[in-house]
Amino acid sequence: MATYLPLLLLMGFAALVTGGMYTATMLLGPKAPNPVKGEPFECGNPSEGARNTKPAVKFYMTALLFVVFDIEAIMIYPWAVEFRSLGWVGFASMASFIILLAVVLTYVWKKGALEWEK
């Protein structure tokens, strides 16, 4: 039990700070809602258009492709650092990984996901 005492103290302190901040916000904050606070912020300019517009699907596709190729970079970096010690097995596994990503990139290119305007 004594080994867990610092962790319990930390959790108790975090709960007290969180509860104190929440209570202070409830006591000191404004009581009446402000309709201007509910509007989306557009750098000080008046709002344009509807509030609940959804971003274009192209944005989601671009974000997904970014994540896929970002993970590729994360996977290739440790391989490049340990290239000499991995031998041919490491080379073959990374070559198959890069070939798979090239196939994915070709598929995405053929589907037109890399074209922003059509």
Q: How confident is the model over 44-62, as pLDDT tens digits?
A: 676 666 666 676 667 777 8
Say which residue the tokens 């090239």 belong to. 102
Task: Return the amino acid letter for 12.
Answer: G
Cα gap 72→78, rounded to integer Å: 11
Least confident of 21-30, 31-40, 75-84, 89-98: 31-40
Q: Give the single-character DSSP code of 107.
A: H
- The predicted model gives 22-37 an average pLDDT of 84
Cα gap 76→98, rounded to integer Å: 9
What is the pLDDT confidence band of residue 118, given thresholds at 50, 70 and 90?
A: low
Q: What is the DSSP string of 51-90?
A: TTPPPPHHHHHHHHHHHHHHHHHHHHHHHHHTHHHHHHHH
- The predicted model gives 91-118 an average pLDDT of 86
What pLDDT, on a 0 to 100 scale, did the predictor assign at position 30?
Answer: 77
Say which residue the tokens 């929440």 belong to. 22
% of the chain at pLDDT higher than 70:
84
**Domain edges within the chain:** 2-38, 57-111
Q: What is the mean pLDDT of the chain?
A: 84
The model carries a pTM of: 0.49
End-to-end CA distance of the chain: 65
Q: Which of 24, 50, 47 is nearest to 36 (CA)?
A: 47
What is the pLDDT confidence band of residue 31, given thresholds at 50, 70 and 90?
A: confident
